[in-house]
Amino acid sequence: MPGPPAVVAAETRNTGKSDMYPIGVVSLFAELIDPVAQHGVVGRACERGLIEILHESPRAFTSDRHRTVDDRPYGGGPGMVLCYEPTRGAIGALRQRLPAGVRALVLSAQGRAFDGALAAELARAPGLLLVAGRYEGLDERIIEAEELEEVSVGDYVLSGGELAAAVVIDAVARLLPGVLGHEESGMRDSHMDGLLGYPQYTRPEVIDGMAVPEVLLGGNHERIRRWRLKLALGRTWRRRPDLLRARVLNEEERELLDEYRVESASADQNS
């Protein structure tokens, strides 16, 4: 049931509420970001006026007959480069509609790695301006003149910045006041922060010979809490030791992780 586009042209901006978080997006392909703004947590935040996503295309700021937005790179080489004038035109139009002090980012494979700490910083800003490149990138002078911060979403090559912009929008929106319901936000500031998730199960109790762990059926909430914390610690230790090194463990957590290690060592011997 896709409704009207949630990513709207910049001139159709709503009346700005004080608790509204505006996000400007410069992109040639707003259609790639729109699904994120139409569904789930971000979709509801848009509907409720907690965030607003404004879009401008560099295409609208061309003056030649062919609406040229890109050109060949100086020095030669493959691909095309987004041109200075149309891109700055789109950025300028959005800046007029955004408050002073927005964080201005360009999504780029050459950027600093996006993570939860940066998402939290961005959520504390009065709004966000995201520039999504296509082709081989944008003319470097756009980044310099607009003082854009270069941000990457991971070490792999995408075809453009739009999906990365959608990732940033989703991660930031979840941290804005009022965006998550009580149940969801309760999960956020829990003691499991900075750890991978624990295993989840739902009905039926046994399927294809695989049973739900006994502890989860008993209703002993303290045992369940400790089992989940142990599994979260164990998985993080095995899969993401970098996350564990960045986190201080309390005494209970150290004990539970030691238990996990002992149990997984004896399990290794059995296999």
Q: Around 170, how many Cα atoms within 13 Å sit in the side-chain half-sphere? A: 16
Beta carbon nearer to ligand 9D3, 98 or 164 = 164
Query: Taking phi first (over 0 means left), then psi (-120 to 50 degrees means alpha), and beta for anything else, what does residue 49 get?
Result: left
CA dihedral (130, 134, 139, 142) in degrees, to 10, reads -10
User: Is 177 an interacting residue with respect to ligand 9D3 (CB under 6 A)?
Assistant: no
Contact 36, 170 (CB under 8 A): yes
Among 32, 83, 148, 153, contact with ligand 9D3 (rule: CB under 6 A): 153
Q: If you write DSSP's letter for every residue of 22-40 in order, what string do you get? A: EEEEE-S-GGGTHHHHHSH
Beta carbon nearer to ligand 9D3, 17 or 112 = 112
Among 40, 99, 116, 154, contact with ligand 9D3 (rule: CB under 6 A): 154
Q: What angle do CA 91, 15, 101 make, to 5 degrees?
A: 45
Among 160, 185, 212, 237, contact with ligand 9D3 (rule: CB under 6 A): 160
User: Is 161 an interacting residue with respect to ligand 9D3 (CB under 6 A)?
Assistant: yes
Among 39, 44, 136, 174, contact with ligand 9D3 (rule: CB under 6 A): 136
Among 62, 68, 152, 185, contact with ligand 9D3 (rule: CB under 6 A): 152
Nearest to 102 by CA among 148, 45, 33: 148
User: Is 57 an interacting residue with respect to ligand 9D3 (CB under 6 A)?
Assistant: no
Beta carbon nearer to ligand 9D3, 154 or 218 = 154
User: Is 25 an interacting residue with respect to ligand 9D3 (CB under 6 A)?
Assistant: no
Contact 57, 88 (CB under 8 A): no
CA dihedral (118, 122, 128, 131) in degrees, to 10, reads 0
Residues 89-128 that bind ligand 9D3 (CB under 6 A): 107-109
Residues that bind ligand 9D3 (CB under 6 A): 107-109, 133, 136-137, 152-154, 156-158, 160-161, 164
